[in-house]
Structure 1
Amino acid sequence: MKLISFVVPSYNASKYLDKVIPSLLVGGDEVEIIIVNDGSKDNTLEIAKNYEKENSNVIVIDKENGGHGSTINEAIKVANGLYFKCVDADDWLDKDALLSLLERIKADIENKKSPDLYLTNFVYENISKNKQDVWSLKKYFKVGEVLSWKDIKPFNVKDFLMMHMFVYKLDILKQSKLSLPLHTFYVDNLYVYKPLYYVNTICYLDLNLYRYYVGRNDQSVSFEQVDLKYDHQLRVFEEASLYYTKEDLLKLNKPHYKEMIRAYFTILWLTQYYCLLGKRKGKYKEYKAVLREFKKENPSFYSLIHRNFGYFMYSLLLPILKKALVNIGYHFVIKKTSWN
């Protein structure tokens, strides 16, 4: 049995594959590596095929360009691992941390305590500045223990779950019927939000597993790209707003319910950031149009969100004050993560 299926979404990734794939091959026959060539125009496919030829645990999917979400969708269809993790082609995993994770998964299988979700730390790797920043939420967990939502401490407002931390059980992704939108950036928060509804048990491991390469001008999280691709985040916001109703969420226990609301607000606040900052005009009007559609299509959830005290107070601010508040938040995140 494969313990983890890794998907490596790859678009024009020829200069990165020789770093990311060896970092996964460390797992040997206990892992499955699914390289999805998303219509690359360079020699990504050739490099991927060479890895497939030389390694029995590497699978290559060659498809027309459909965007990051489409590669995850395709990988889920063919994955055979007990767990599933996405590793972008320009990032990599720490080899020792991966081996430790695999040992822990085997121990939990033997003890019949396999959680629905493993969470780990990840590291922002700003190579141009020779700077590393660890994103860790271990203070909220009993590290190394399989927990229910009731066992987890409430998060502070500045801390939130991010995709690079996640090692989902494959069955959870399938149960959630996750299907990410095509030709859309910023789907990582949908990957966190939708399956999280079905997660009942979590284990946090203090491992600096995922290495997230940041600080490049061509990244989707650079200020220029955020201003250019704001409509992608609007698409993500619109999709998330229709996933669950108020009635769906009220079926969860209170801590689980609260974390689902927090995960949704992460998407909401990011959408504010994308639509309020930058030079492109008309973005906020488009956001308001999406809100009107949200109210029409999912009225109970819309009402729940807009009665949240923090959001209600924020909604009373003039647009110029909203923009100032979002700008402060943006610079806080940049300082914390070294994105740009």
Structure 2
Amino acid sequence: MKYITFVVPCYNSEDYMKRCIDSLLLAGNDVEIIIVNDGSIDKTCEIAEDYRVKYPDIIRVINKENGGHGSGVNVGLEQATGIYFKVVDSDDWLDRQALDQLLFRVSNFCLLKQKDNALVIPDLFICNYVYDHLHEETRHDISYKNALDEEKICTWQDIGFFKPSQYLLMHSQIFRTSVLRESGVKLPEHTFYVDNIFAYQPLPYVKYLYYMNIDLYHYFIGRDDQSVNEDIMLNRIDQQIRVTEQMLACVNLQAVKKKEPKLAAYMYRYLSIIMSITNILLLMINSEESMLQKNKLWSELKTLDKGLYLKLKYTSMSGLTNMPGSIGRKLTISGYRVAQKLYKFN
């Protein structure tokens, strides 16, 4: 039995994938590591195969045509045999001590479930993550201890208030594999920023959460070719819009609100920040086309869900990105710059 499936999507990752895989191998035979080689043209495939030969009981390799990060996650989820599922990007890594603690807790729950199938176990483990600016030798930790009870099975009714910098991103999540499959989450191909869909769409299918106040995931920040590099985000604005549109459409938040009002409130806030980022990037581009794209996004949302449109435009952060004129644009972008420095998210 494999307690956790770690999926590592790789595209031309030869320079850094060893650090990632080596950190996962510390979990031993209780996990499986699926390396998805997404059509790399460097030595990624060769490195992956070397690992597979050396650790045949732990590592599997899937070689496929290039389809983007989301395609790698999709294939990994299809092939996963672990009870829990976690994506680890090939330039990131897990902390050894925290991984030991997570695996100990996960294995205990799974063994108890084997003995008593009626026992409740978590659908989602949540751990802290770290924005690791290695080149600057700085780090910024994201924890949830103010919003979630530690080491306790809880429900959405038990959650507290999430601060503006606190979102349950892919880096913090370890889902039950069955929950992800039940949610039907499928990420678009040839698209960056799809981790937001992954972190959002399955949440209504989660009944029980378990928070561990440990710094598990190290999210590397600083590569020039990184997808969260601002210049790259501006050049990929069509992909950011695609992700935003899918998030707006993939969950009926009115239905969620009837069952889990606290979860719905959190998901509204998540949508608001995604909508804000998309609008701010379009404002930064500041072309006739980008302004048309911005207006089109709001118009499509109004047609899709007028209630959600009104909420996001007039009662949330995303509405602030619609301040009129050049002064409004400058104020919006200035606010974004302040948030960048404060929360160090890229």
State the 1:110 CA deviation: 4.1
Write the mapping of 1:53-132 to structure 2, written as runs, cut at 5 A: 53-55=53-55, 56-111=57-112, 112-132=119-139
Corresponding position: 1:249 with 2:249: no
Q: Which residue of 2 aligns with 1:228?
A: 235
Corresponding position: 1:291 with 2:298: yes
1:23 is paired with a residue whose SS is helix
State the 1:93 CA deviation: 0.7
**CA gap 1:310/1:190 in 2 versus in 1, 3 angstroms:** same
- Identify unmatched segments of 5+ residues in structure 2: 113-118
The size of the alignment, in residue pairs, is 339
Q: Which residue of 1 aligns with 2:266?
A: 259
**CA gap 1:300/1:205 in 2 versus in 1, 3 angstroms:** same
Q: Which digits, 9 at most, give the CA deviation of each residue in 1:106-126, with x for residues without a partner?
A: 222344442111111111111
Corresponding position: 1:23 with 2:23: yes
1:139 is paired with a residue whose SS is coil
For 1:313 and 1:10, locate their aligned partners in 2 and report how far apart those are by CA, in whole Å. Answer: 37
Corresponding position: 1:219 with 2:220: no
For 2:318 and 2:287, locate their aligned partners in 1 and report how far apart those are by CA, in whole Å. Answer: 26
Q: Which digits, 9 at most, give the CA deviation of each residue in 1:77-107, with x for residues without a partner?
A: 0001111111000111111111110001122
- Give the conservation status (yes or no) of the 8 Å contact 1:126–1:339: no
- Give the conservation status (yes or no) of the 8 Å contact 2:276–2:318: no
Instruction: Identify the match of residue 336 of structure 2 among 317, 325, 330.
Output: 330
1:207 is paired with a residue whose SS is strand
- Identify unmatched segments of 5+ residues in structure 1: none
State the 1:245 CA deviation: 3.0
Q: Which digits, 9 at most, give the CA deviation of each residue in 1:141-190, with x for residues without a partner?
A: 11111111111112133432222111111111101101001111111111
For 1:179 and 1:191, locate their aligned partners in 2 and report how far apart those are by CA, in whole Å. Answer: 8
Letter in 2 for 1:227: L
- Give the conservation status (yes or no) of the 8 Å contact 1:186–1:233: yes
Letter in 2 for 1:99: D
For 1:201 and 1:321, locate their aligned partners in 2 and report how far apart those are by CA, in whole Å. Answer: 46
- Give the conservation status (yes or no) of the 8 Å contact 2:127–2:216: yes
Letter in 2 for 1:229: R
Letter in 1 for 2:2: K
- Give the conservation status (yes or no) of the 8 Å contact 1:124–1:337: no
Identity %: 35
State the 1:222 CA deviation: 1.2
Q: Which moved further from structure 2: 212-221 or 39-48? A: 212-221
For 1:325 and 1:169, locate their aligned partners in 2 and report how far apart those are by CA, in whole Å. Answer: 42
For 1:36 and 1:206, locate their aligned partners in 2 and report how far apart those are by CA, in whole Å. Answer: 30
**CA gap 1:45/1:180 in 2 versus in 1, 3 angstroms:** same
Structure 1-normalised TM-score? 0.93
Aligned CA-pair RMSD: 2.0
Q: Which residue of 2 aligns with 1:7?
A: 7
1:251 is paired with a residue whose SS is helix
Q: Which residue of 2 aligns with 1:173?
A: 180
For 1:217 and 1:200, locate their aligned partners in 2 and report how far apart those are by CA, in whole Å. Answer: 39
Q: Which residue of 1 aligns with 2:115?
A: none
Q: Which residue of 1 aligns with 2:116?
A: none
For 2:14 and 2:288, locate their aligned partners in 1 and report how far apart those are by CA, in whole Å. Answer: 36
